[in-house]
Structure 1
Amino acid sequence: MRVMAQLAMVMNLDKCIGCHTCSVTCKQTWTNRGGVEYAWFNNVETKPGQGYPRRYEDQGRWRGGWTLRHGRLVPAAGGRVRRLLSLFANPGMPHLDDYYQPWTYDYRTLTDAPLGDDTPVARPVSAVTGAPAEVTWGPNWEDSLGGAPEHAAADPVVQRLGREVRFEYEQAFMFYLPRICEHCLNPSCVASCPSGAMYKRSEDGIVLVDQDRCRGWRMCVSGCPYKKVYFNHKTGKAEKCTFCYPRLEVGQPTVCAETCVGRLRYIGVLLYDADRVGEAASTKDEQRLYQAQLGVFLDPHDPAVVREAQRAGIPHDWITAARRSPVHELICRHRVALPLHPEYRTMPMVWYVPPLSPVVDALAGTGFDGEDSGNLFGAIDTLRIPLDYLAGLFTAGDPEPVRMALRRLAAMRSHMRAVNLGEPPDPAGPARVGMDAGSVEAMYRLLAVAKYEDRYVIPTAAVGDAHDLEGIATTCAVGGDGGAADGSTDLFVWRDGERPAGLFPTLRREAP
């Protein structure tokens, strides 16, 4: 057992109202400059929809993430030889139009136009080239199903459901899906980087880009199956979500979480066994990848885990934070949070609580009590589209974990309605989903009424080392066969070849 710690995020999709406040604040903080006009480290998609960039989930085209070849993990884009041959002409990389052509307006026409009988018009111009542009797509083009049914049918997950449900889908289900970099345990973007500029920090698991080492090959863009790495065409460097690490290092949540109107984001520490990551990601059956990743996470209340964590140099504050982690509660204890597209085999660390509200609304529309647990359980099992679609998003098509998560959310709603109305709760409801009244109420306190300090449990042991953390030399250089660049299987490569005893080593990067 090799215990490591990672900061992770859970988003409760039941509470997202699609206001895009998280996207705007992230944009203003991280990408409000030239070269990344089109880049949104945080974006909110409407599902069903093609997403951003368009059809990023179609790995048959983009070939992102990992695949199994003779039982070994290899980048889906190919090995070292294939990547070398496509270094200067990469067909698996999205074009600007796949994202969208960022535009502004020719406001000078309005301010400088001479007097006349005609009303001047500020026409759109490209924010990249300055030439007149035709607005045909945008990052929120499908917002609130605004583009359906014309565009929703092109959603890769919808296409896998079959033609008989494709055109009815928009009337049956809709929800918002906020997305950031997944900061994966097994990041394929890091494995794809020829220069070793992409790395995963050992102290908190955040995946970053060393701007000094980056040579602009853009292999990381094609290697990421979530398409959350962007190319700055002015600096010639790759950029991505940093998980707001300067804020986290002083105990503050990410900007997107801090400004979230719906209070749907949770940040906490997860302890995991680094020696089991490769084995879990190599699980042959895609529909078992969710359970395999759950098996990687460790119980911070287990004395044996605590001893190994202390031996690995994880500070006491991080172990304490892992015990109070809302992320651990939602993922490992209550089992209501699920990973996004585990079939990419990157072991994502941003998980989602699937939405239940549309199920309740659909049931209430038939004249039945939409909050009764018996009715809700039946609705979850009989509604044709949502369960299959959610399974396609979160469990590689396996409906059982999604069904159980939704049933637990339904049991919580039914139980808490009885409590709030002063009625005796039915103990059979929680018992049918393997819970009791205490665990249901604990889940309710976390999902519905959690305070700030309960939603963001971020260790502050690094406050005094915040400056030194920027120089951590934990470059993650994963090789094309799933191992490190030196042929080992250790994900973290250290400058001196030895794994340091402390979690916050004062090492500096070697010159590129």
Structure 2
Amino acid sequence: MRVLAQVAMVMNLDKCIGCHTCSVTCKQTWTNRTGVEYAWFNNVETKPGVGYPRRYEDQEQWKGGWMLDKRGRLVLRSGGRVKRLLSLFANPDLPAIEDYYEPVTYDYDNLVNAPAGQDVPVARPRSVLTGKPTAITWGANWEDGLGGAPEHAGADPNLTGAWADKVKFSFEQTFLFHLPRLCEHCLNPACVSACPSGAMYKRVEDGIVLVDQDRCRGWRMCVTACPYKKVYVNHATGKAEKCTFCFPRIEAGQPTVCSETCVGRLRYLGLLLYDADRVGEAAAAPDEKNLLDAQRDVFLDPADPAVIAAARASGIPQDWLDAARRSPVYDLVEKYRVALPLHPEYRTLPMVWYVPPLSPVLDAVGEAGGDADDPDHVFAAVTRLRIPMEYLASLFTAGDTDVVAGVLMKLTALRSYMRERTLGEEGDERALKAVGLTAREAEDLHRLLAVAKYADRYVVPAAHTEDAALTALENRCPVESPGDVPGAPGRRVMLGIPTLRRTSEGGSA
């Protein structure tokens, strides 16, 4: 057992109001400069919808993530070394600028310097790329609030199968929820493995995936390999850029900018301990529906004495172990199991998880003529919610509706119980027992999801500055070698990933 620590995030989608504050503050912090005008390290999508870039979830087209070959081996969907070598200068599996949107500026001088007259001057849009006048026809937030849904949202790659007929875009029957997205900082990142120059790497001490700008050669293989399309190319420098998980803030023990500024307080940050030796095995689970359980099995109990001993042997500091025991992410992912990963079928083992949205359950009970106080009636209504379980399952459980139903029933039981307690009643614990919760656990989960304070939502230990001198030694091969010092800041690692290895001289082996 090789214990490593990962800074992870959970988002409660019931609390996202789609204000895009997280996107704007991230934009101002990380991509407010020439070359990345079109790049949004954090964006908020309206679901159902085609997303950003357009239809990024269609891996038949974009070849992102991992798959199993005929012999059950884990391979990149974008192809092996030979294919990547042959397509270095002509990679066909890349979104075009039209799939993102053409960045524009405006003729502001025309507003300021226009001569006096009867006509009102306007600032016409001009392309940042060509400098020529252009029309604005798409954007990162084009479908906000289901704008244009009848024309576009039907192309959502998740709307497949016979159940898709349940999704109606008429005013009375439609539904929507907001899905904030950023780099998943995966345990098994396809972008890292696909990078021919080894510029993409995953830090050992906190699991954050970064790009070494000095080594990046702009091959764009990382863009293709990332199934979430969260790697962007700076068109001014030709280098790849992506969400950094605000690592300077994380190292200082502060939350990410998107978390700090989130109006809905829906984001949670914390540490997860995991067994690095089991990452490859988990990602190669034969049945896609077993990938969620396989990834959860990789996570370790931070209160287990054996895990603590192994973590100390790996060089994880004591304050990090204390933070792991207080982690809200561990509670939501492992203890209560109400958080789910985005598209586990991509086999990257993502580390940004989501509490799925819960439609108004009592309305569904009333429409069916049921008794809102009867747990059986309430649980039955979960299958008739406005947001189809099949749609949520296509996003979070590789199509397994039973897992989604279990999470929604747990949230429903919690909501029903706490509603009674808030109204001064004793609270019926029958529904809680049916979903495996005690009254104490229900109160703790409610406190975490609904009224958690700042210090409870963000448990991020600071980096150890006494180890900073070691970073000067870390500009080397991204694959861990036996002589590496566990826990050193800035170290690179790839776990269970077949890829080109770079020698210490900078060549490939």
TM over 0.5: same fold?
A: yes
Residue 500 of structure 2 corresponds to: none
Residue 487 of structure 2 corresponds to: 503
Residue 377 of structure 1 corresponds to: 379
Matches of 1:142 and 1:371, distance apart in 2: 38
Native 8 Å contact 2:100 2:140 kept in 1: yes
Residue 47 of structure 1 corresponds to: 47
Structure 1's unaligned 5+ residue stretches are: 478-492
Say which SS state the counterpart of residue 46 (structure 1) adopts.
strand
The alpha-carbon distance between structure 1 residues 371 and 391, as it changes in their structure 2 partners (threshold 3 A), is: farther
Matches of 1:176 and 1:471, distance apart in 2: 42
Say which SS state the counterpart of residue 425 (structure 1) adopts.
coil
Matches of 1:175 and 1:370, distance apart in 2: 24
Shift of 1:419: 1.1
Matches within 5 A, 1:316-395: 316-359=318-361, 373-383=375-385, 385-395=387-397
Residue 292 of structure 1 corresponds to: 294
The alpha-carbon distance between structure 1 residues 419 and 177, as it changes in their structure 2 partners (threshold 3 A), is: same
2:317 corresponds, among 307, 315, 318, to: 315
Matches within 5 A, 1:180-219: 180-219=182-221
Matches of 2:179 and 2:422, distance apart in 1: 30
Superposed CA deviations along residues 421-447 of structure 1, whole A, max 9, x for unmatched, are 111111101000011101111101110
Residue 141 of structure 2 corresponds to: 140
Corresponding position: 1:157 with 2:158: yes
Native 8 Å contact 1:198 1:476 kept in 2: no
Say which SS state the counterpart of residue 149 (structure 2) adopts.
coil
Corresponding position: 1:66 with 2:50: no
Residue 496 of structure 2 corresponds to: none
Residue 487 of structure 1 corresponds to: none
Shift of 1:158: 1.4
Matches of 1:318 and 1:325, distance apart in 2: 10
Superposed CA deviations along residues 367-406 of structure 1, whole A, max 9, x for unmatched, are 8777875443121123375211000000000011111111
Say which SS state the counterpart of residue 500 (structure 1) adopts.
coil
Shift of 1:463: 4.6
Native 8 Å contact 2:16 2:266 kept in 1: yes
The alpha-carbon distance between structure 1 residues 269 and 469, as it changes in their structure 2 partners (threshold 3 A), is: farther
Q: Comparing 402-411 with 334-343, which one deviates more in the overlay?
A: 402-411
The alpha-carbon distance between structure 1 residues 471 and 368, as it changes in their structure 2 partners (threshold 3 A), is: farther
Q: Comparing 294-303 with 31-40, which one deviates more in the overlay?
A: 294-303
Residue 484 of structure 1 corresponds to: none
The alpha-carbon distance between structure 1 residues 304 and 498, as it changes in their structure 2 partners (threshold 3 A), is: same
The alpha-carbon distance between structure 1 residues 468 and 143, as it changes in their structure 2 partners (threshold 3 A), is: farther
1:438 corresponds, among 440, 463, 476, to: 440
What amino acid does structure 2 have at the position aligned with 1:6?
Q
Matches of 2:477 and 2:223, distance apart in 1: 16
Native 8 Å contact 2:364 2:384 kept in 1: no
Superposed CA deviations along residues 332-352 of structure 1, whole A, max 9, x for unmatched, are 000000000000000000000
Matches of 1:103 and 1:397, distance apart in 2: 39
Shift of 1:221: 0.5
Superposed CA deviations along residues 247-294 of structure 1, whole A, max 9, x for unmatched, are 010100000000000000000000111111101100111111111101
Residue 20 of structure 2 corresponds to: 20
The alpha-carbon distance between structure 1 residues 32 and 169, as it changes in their structure 2 partners (threshold 3 A), is: same
What amino acid does structure 1 have at the position aligned with 2:462?
T
Corresponding position: 1:38 with 2:22: no
Shift of 1:471: 4.9
Native 8 Å contact 2:49 2:156 kept in 1: yes
Q: Comparing 364-373 with 319-328, which one deviates more in the overlay?
A: 364-373
Structure 2's unaligned 5+ residue stretches are: 493-502
Matches within 5 A, 1:124-273: 124-160=125-161, 162=163, 164-168=165-169, 171-273=173-275
Matches of 1:107 and 1:209, distance apart in 2: 35
Shift of 1:499: 4.6
The alpha-carbon distance between structure 1 residues 45 and 469, as it changes in their structure 2 partners (threshold 3 A), is: farther
Shift of 1:296: 0.6
Shift of 1:357: 3.7
Shift of 1:164: 2.4
Native 8 Å contact 2:429 2:439 kept in 1: yes
Residue 99 of structure 1 corresponds to: 100
What amino acid does structure 1 have at the position aligned with 2:5?
A
What amino acid does structure 1 have at the position aligned with 2:403?
P
Native 8 Å contact 1:9 1:266 kept in 2: yes
The alpha-carbon distance between structure 1 residues 505 and 255, as it changes in their structure 2 partners (threshold 3 A), is: closer
Native 8 Å contact 1:471 1:507 kept in 2: no
What amino acid does structure 1 have at the position aligned with 2:14?
D
Say which SS state the counterpart of residue 307 (structure 2) adopts.
helix
What amino acid does structure 2 have at the position aligned with 1:111?
V
Scaled by the length of structure 1, the TM-score of the pair is: 0.92
Matches of 1:221 and 1:11, distance apart in 2: 24
Shift of 1:417: 1.1
The alpha-carbon distance between structure 1 residues 270 and 335, as it changes in their structure 2 partners (threshold 3 A), is: same
Native 8 Å contact 1:5 1:272 kept in 2: yes
Matches of 2:16 and 2:454, distance apart in 1: 17
Native 8 Å contact 1:281 1:345 kept in 2: yes
Residue 82 of structure 1 corresponds to: 83
What amino acid does structure 2 have at the position aligned with 1:115?
A
Say which SS state the counterpart of residue 332 (structure 2) adopts.
helix
What amino acid does structure 2 have at the position aligned with 1:498?
P
Matches of 1:431 and 1:475, distance apart in 2: 53
Matches of 2:378 and 2:188, distance apart in 1: 37
What amino acid does structure 2 have at the position aligned with 1:413?
R
Considering only aligned residues, what root-mean-square deviation do their CA atoms show, in Å? 2.2
Matches of 1:500 and 1:455, distance apart in 2: 33
Matches of 1:169 and 1:88, distance apart in 2: 46
Shift of 1:163: 5.2
